[in-house]
Every structure is written in structure tokens, then in C-alpha cells.
Amino acid sequence: MNEPLINKLRGAVNSDVSLQQMWQALHDFKEGGGEQAEAYSTLEKLRSELGPEQEDLLLEVMDVVSGFCNAKDRIW
């Protein structure tokens, strides 16, 4: 788990940011040398902390990280 990433994503989810903003945070993480598996495990950890109202957004973000998304939205 990556502490800076989870803190950034936790703050984003709690601020009701858009999927695009979450995508950008993960893209920046990758550009900084972050790996897909680490990003996904960080999102899994964050998911365990969230309530149902935030889970839908996080599941969409997890789909993007895993590559289960439109090709233009893929990060890894």
C-alpha cells in the first residue's frame, strides 16, 4: 500500500471529486513510477474504509486501474 496515494485518494473521495480527477491522480502516480498492482491494492484498502455512498466511484476507479474500461481511459 502506498501511503501518499491512499491519502490523496481518500481526500479526493471524501471531497466528492469526479472520476476524471481520480483518474488524474492515478495517472500522476504511474508517471511517478507507481505500479498497477500497488495502485490496485491501495484502492482495495481504501474500499474497506468507505461507506456505500463512495463505493460506486471507487469501483469505477478500480475498473480503470485493472484495465476494464474504454481503451482511451486505460492507465496501465
SS3 assignment, position 2: coil
Tell me the pLDDT tens digit for each residue of 24-75: 999 999 999 999 999 999 999 999 988 888 888 899 999 999 999 999 999 9
- pLDDT at residue 53, as a whole number: 80
Question: CB of 67 within 8 A of CB of 31?
Answer: no
Q: What is the DSSP string of 26-44?
A: HHHHHHTT--HHHHHHHHH
Q: Hey, where are the domains in the chain? A: 3-71
pTM of the model: 0.88
